[in-house]
Chain A
């Protein structure tokens, strides 16, 4: 039973990554000056730990491909899985945080609408939430579906690529490029039923990770001191609150959850989440993070798709998706397979 007032399912999900890759070690070496400047405000001990326990070996990088190419690929794959055409899509939401410095589109949603033949779709985009943006997109789609009878199928996409020279987000993570697509259907019969979504933003932490222009080029700036001293102390607390809130609304508890789907920021962050939800060691499922790196909001879709490919998700099981990202934004989505 969903505590939402409408019946909406995750009908399909897909992702696309570029074929080119780069070793994380090589990236950190190339961006050494930037990394050192970012970490300078931290204590010597914290600086040493910044690159430890990442669990990220390589990342995929857009070389010949543009993020939009990946978005189109992911959307097409998801549509094929859902068995729909462009004409079936009523709403397209682009929630990319880093769509590429040279992106010429108003939003990927508008370009997709044209390329997929989604002639009557409502197209919108927002840039908010980073890794937590999937929940914002789901909640936005639910809002539209709740207030407009004609919106029955929504396509949610994100495509992100690190600005040149900004792949390292130490002391947090290292960014890889990827795109993903999720299709939500109202009154559908296939896919996990959405039970609840909770999101929160603390705006006073907005520049813990910020986009700035340096010499005419975008750069991601991490305020390491703010991350360590302001964000991290409440990072899991805020996530935990949202988890409790979304579970309470469905009269469920942590023990009821069959699968926790969490982002690929770093292995140490996943370990923190594991401790937060009280799972025994080794109980968070393996993800392709070592190969793809952290891909912002696509992480959750990548991990969900991998679990499905490995046939880990059974009908009736409860899924809890959680992530946090720039903004600073925390989000949790609950669904029953």
Chain B
């Protein structure tokens, strides 16, 4: 699963604040760099939850956890691994 590529595409098409020519590198600061505002973050998190079938709780998301594609990928991978571990623990298959 190419998490960064999908998130990059979503951001470029839906969230960027009128900066469609901006190249989003893996370490480009999205929130602290002003590319995504607080309303954009609402859309981004909704996308992540839906696309990757994960669920966040409020304390998990702050400016430091989703500021770059690298961080977003790490967050999603952790979520997916945790879900997999939970499912294995309860004997379910995902």
Binding site for B on A (CB under 8 A): 200, 202, 229-230, 232-238, 240-241, 272, 275-276
Do A240 and B63 touch across chains, with their CB atoms under 8 A apart?
A: no
Known: A202-B58, A272-B38. A237 touches B45 (CB 8 A): yes
A236 to B39, CA, bound (A): 6
B50 sits at the interface (CB 8 A):
no
Q: Taking A229-B32, A237-B45 as contacts, is the C-beta distance between A276 and B62 under 8 angstroms?
A: no
A275 near B63 (CB under 8 angstroms)? no
Query: A12 to nearest B CB, angstroms?
Result: 33
The CA-CA distance from A262 to B85 in the complex, in Å, is 41
Residues of A within 8 A of B62 (CB): 230, 233-234
Docked-complex contact A200 and B38, CB < 8 angstroms: no
B17 contacts the other chain (CB 8 A): no
Bound: A230/B61 CA distance, A:
11
In chain B, positions 11-65 with a C-beta closer than 8 Å to chain A are: 31-32, 38-39, 41-42, 45, 58-59, 61-63
Task: Rank and list the top 10 A-B pairs by shortest CB-CB distance, nearest first.
Answer: A233-B63, A236-B38, A275-B39, A240-B42, A233-B31, A237-B42, A238-B58, A237-B41, A235-B38, A232-B38
Q: Please provide the chain B residues from 57 to 80 with a CB less than 8 Å away from any CB of chain A in the complex.
A: 58-59, 61-63
| Given A230-B63, A234-B38, A237-B41, 20 extra CB contacts under 8 A | A200-B58, A202-B58, A229-B32, A229-B63, A233-B31, A233-B38, A233-B62, A234-B41, A234-B58, A234-B63, A235-B38, A236-B38, A236-B41, A237-B38, A237-B42, A237-B45, A237-B58, A238-B58, A272-B39, A275-B39
